[in-house]
Structure 1
Amino acid sequence: MTQYGSNYRGSASVPPAGGSGGGARVAQTAAGGPTRRGLIGSGIGLVASIAAAGGGFAVWSTANSTNADLDRAFDLDAIPEEDRPERLNEAMNLLVIGSDHREGEDEADARSDTTILMHVNEDGSAAYGISIPRDLYVYIPEDPEATVSDTLDKFNAAYAWGGVNLTVRTIENLTGVRIDHIVEIDFNGLVAVVDALGGVTLDVQAADADGYITDPPGVESIHGEHTFFEEGPNKMNGTEALDYVRQRYQYLEGDFARMRHQQDLIKAIMDSALSAGVLTNEDKLTSFIDSTSDAVKVDTEFNAVATGITLMNMRSDDLQFMTTPNLGTGTQGGQSVVIYADDPENPDASNPDAVSLWEAVRDDKVEEWIAAHPEDEEE
């Protein structure tokens, strides 16, 4: 049986032809109005903000206390070791998940509409964020704890059917990359992080899809109060930033534009932390950690202090983004999807860019991959 991801070291395999048993189910699970769509996985901004924890005893104590009190909701050890890829080096692969859960709503109804595989190289000098389209048509491996599994379907069906662990299984099967840690952030968490920094500045892209072009150029939100964001740099609070990065229908690139704006927000969070002096002022950093520690959920082994120290010299210019190489949009399994491969059961044959990217991540050679594929790096 063909396995997703060249040189994959796990054991899950792709089902026989015609085995997409989950199509109708995922259409139901993923349904909902536009107010439920889109989330930025910006937990890495919170993690990076702890980077100055060694700057003073009070900050160090606060960071250690925060680390102890983090909501450790995910146990990756529950995934059988024989089903997982090998860890080949000391680089870190952090999966950042954006959940659309809101306060007062049932967490069981939440979805992961944003997923970024964040690869930090061995010496902590650079990080690479790879966005995984929620509609990417992939194999979702067998999981006895999931309501549905062992089928081909949209990527974000994995979260709806089996939560974070099935999402990890799906990514590891697709890529052969070992996921070391999880950081999940929801709507309220994102707003809290941005507001704790005093806001962020985002360069707004004007709408270019038919029926959404405005004069003056900008983009009008389809959510809530239909806020208008004028083209160019805009200083935004948490609610505004969340609103802007959720828009997709107004752009010809659709969800790809949305993913790029989410990537912009992560960089803006890092830049805002620097410009506001959060990473260099003990009182500000302590206050920031206190006010945002409830914004994320992590895995049982995640160490915020150690991760912060690893990232302490990193700046937004050291963070490069890209989107999972794909063949564009189309129809597979009776659904409108982002096509990963012409033949979903044999992806290596038709998507060599993705195969070589995942190999570069596994071998900690992403910088070399980007040099060989400059067209794939996000501006």
Structure 2
Amino acid sequence: VNKDAGYVTLLSIPRDLYVYLPGVKMGRINTADLVGKPFFPGGGPAYLEETILYNLGIPVDYYARINFDAFKAIVDTLGGIDVPVSCAIQDWRLKSPELDPQNADNWYLSTQDTGLIHMDGDLALWYARSRKNNTDFDRSRRQMQVLRAIFQRAKDLNFTDLTKIPALYEQFKDVVQTDIDIGAILRLAPMAVDLDTSRIHSYSINAAHVSSWTTPDNPPQNVLIPNPDAIAALLDKAFAAPEDQPEPIQVEVWNGTPNGDWLALALDNLRARGFAGVAGQADRQDYPAQVLYDFTNGDDTTARVNLQKLFGVKNENVIAQPDASAPHPYRIVLGADWNSCIYPVPPPKPTPTPGA
């Protein structure tokens, strides 16, 4: 959290990242809490902070930890959240939250289609935790989406109002384990009031920064070996000084289809790729395919190429139209053949018909 510059950086660390557990051994980063709990001053959370500092050089000021029930309660207290689901996912889900998870008959294969989906606490937890047919990296992406949606909903309901925070703190202090006190929360709250979600920057340690490896342990462990240079470059970008943070390139989005949710999905995809999406008004809703307008002078085509790839725009639908007076350097028009899923997620299989 950078109060002076007015932005927040989110960094996702994969649970299987193979790191040095200070003073003990090599191990997965998600074991640090358990390893440090019996001996480290401050217990598991403090030892995890020490592990992050040792391996990634990131000082951690505070921590917060909640269980599944508390997470669902927070989302439900907000009246649910709106999450842009750009890739359909499929996984097993309890038929009802109160059913016994040990009974196989209480589960069914659930599919969440794409769209701007309003989620209650149970659905949000399922969406954030699903691992079937996708990767842990994709799960990290979905968890960041959910965090953003929670923050946006809290702002929409004015829960960031200083006068409401003490009551919320009392409501959740017994289910949220944290070392941040009410005073620190109140000092940070004014920033939250004015913080636009475009000022929340998301980064993740993903497949580009690690290599898979199986340890020689008994039993062996599947872990992720850090690529030091790649991770250092990522962290330099994520935590650069405010004056070194480039402003994201703005892209106006027209939804040239009758699919109302597609605008939200396109804006979220742009944000995920480091662009700043701006909602525009399409002139019609019968575009058969995507159209990309480039209003720049064409000296640097990097952004154009990236946008063309991101939205699957055919070469003949890329229109160079230099215009120094254009409000935004690029415009993307969504067409009927747009595929919102830009992540390597296998499509859900048809749900089997009982008895078939």
Give the TM-score normalised by structure 1.
Answer: 0.53
- In structure 2, the partner of 1:249 is 132
Provide the C-alpha distance between the structure 2 equivalents of 1:193 and 1:364, rounded to a whole number of angstroms. Answer: 33
Q: CA deviation at 1:306?
A: 1.3
- In structure 2, the partner of 1:333 is 215
Find 1:220's aligned residue among 91, 101, 106: 91
Establish whether residue 356 from structure 1 lines up as the match of residue 356 from structure 2.
Answer: no
Map of 1:202-241 to 2, 5 A cutoff?
202-207=83-88, 218-222=89-93, 225-226=107-108, 227-241=110-124
Distance verdict in 2 for CA 1:307–1:152, change over 3 Å: same
Indicate the structure whose relative CO is greater, using CA pairs within 8 Å and at least 6 residues apart: 1
- Is residue 18–residue 223 contact of structure 2 (8 Å, CA) maintained in 1? yes
SS of the residue corresponding to residue 49 of structure 2 reads helix
Distance verdict in 2 for CA 1:166–1:277, change over 3 Å: closer
- Is residue 209–residue 230 contact of structure 2 (8 Å, CA) maintained in 1? no
Q: CA deviation at 1:219?
A: 2.1
The one-letter code of the counterpart of 1:248 is R
- In structure 1, the partner of 2:178 is 298
- Is residue 222–residue 247 contact of structure 1 (8 Å, CA) maintained in 2? no
SS of the residue corresponding to residue 180 of structure 1 reads coil
- In structure 1, the partner of 2:281 is none
- In structure 2, the partner of 1:378 is 272
SS of the residue corresponding to residue 130 of structure 1 reads strand
Q: CA deviation at 1:186?
A: 1.9
- Is residue 124–residue 311 contact of structure 1 (8 Å, CA) maintained in 2? no
Provide the C-alpha distance between the structure 2 equivalents of 1:180 and 1:357, rounded to a whole number of angstroms. Answer: 21
Give the TM-score normalised by structure 2.
Answer: 0.56
Provide the C-alpha distance between the structure 2 equivalents of 1:167 and 1:258, rounded to a whole number of angstroms. Answer: 21
- In structure 2, the partner of 1:261 is 142
Q: CA deviation at 1:246?
A: 0.3
SS of the residue corresponding to residue 134 of structure 1 reads coil
Establish whether residue 156 from structure 1 lines up as the match of residue 30 from structure 2.
Answer: yes
Q: CA deviation at 1:280?
A: 5.5
Runs of 4+ deviating beyond 4 Å: 280-283, 285-290, 359-363
Map of 1:38-49 to 2, 5 A cutoff?
none
Distance verdict in 2 for CA 1:366–1:330, change over 3 Å: farther
Percent identical residues: 24
Provide the C-alpha distance between the structure 2 equivalents of 1:308 and 1:281, rounded to a whole number of angstroms. Answer: 7
Provide the C-alpha distance between the structure 2 equivalents of 1:153 and 1:366, rounded to a whole number of angstroms. Answer: 37
Map of 1:71-220 to 2, 5 A cutoff?
120-123=1-4, 125-142=6-23, 149=24, 151-162=25-36, 163-207=44-88, 218-220=89-91
Provide the C-alpha distance between the structure 1 equivalents of 2:49 and 2:209, rounded to a whole number of angstroms. Answer: 23
Provide the C-alpha distance between the structure 2 equivalents of 1:299 and 1:222, rounded to a whole number of angstroms. Answer: 33
Q: CA deviation at 1:137?
A: 1.1
Q: CA deviation at 1:365?
A: 5.1
**Structure 1: segments with no counterpart, 5+ residues:** 1-119, 143-148, 208-217, 342-350, 372-376
Post-superposition Cα deviations, 1:137-186, rounded to whole Å, max 9, x if no partner, equal 111111xxxxxx2x112111111211112211110001222211112222
Post-superposition Cα deviations, 1:338-370, rounded to whole Å, max 9, x if no partner, equal 2213xxxxxxxxx32322344566664596389
The one-letter code of the counterpart of 2:124 is A
- Is residue 329–residue 336 contact of structure 1 (8 Å, CA) maintained in 2? no
Post-superposition Cα deviations, 1:286-307, rounded to whole Å, max 9, x if no partner, equal 7645533434222266722112
Distance verdict in 2 for CA 1:362–1:235, change over 3 Å: closer
Distance verdict in 2 for CA 1:235–1:248, change over 3 Å: same
- Is residue 90–residue 112 contact of structure 2 (8 Å, CA) maintained in 1? yes
Post-superposition Cα deviations, 1:67-115, rounded to whole Å, max 9, x if no partner, equal xxxxxxxxxxxxxxxxxxxxxxxxxxxxxxxxxxxxxxxxxxxxxxxxx
Q: CA deviation at 1:237?
A: 0.8
SS of the residue corresponding to residue 63 of structure 2 reads strand
Provide the C-alpha distance between the structure 2 equivalents of 1:265 and 1:229, rounded to a whole number of angstroms. Answer: 15
Post-superposition Cα deviations, 1:27-74, rounded to whole Å, max 9, x if no partner, equal xxxxxxxxxxxxxxxxxxxxxxxxxxxxxxxxxxxxxxxxxxxxxxxx
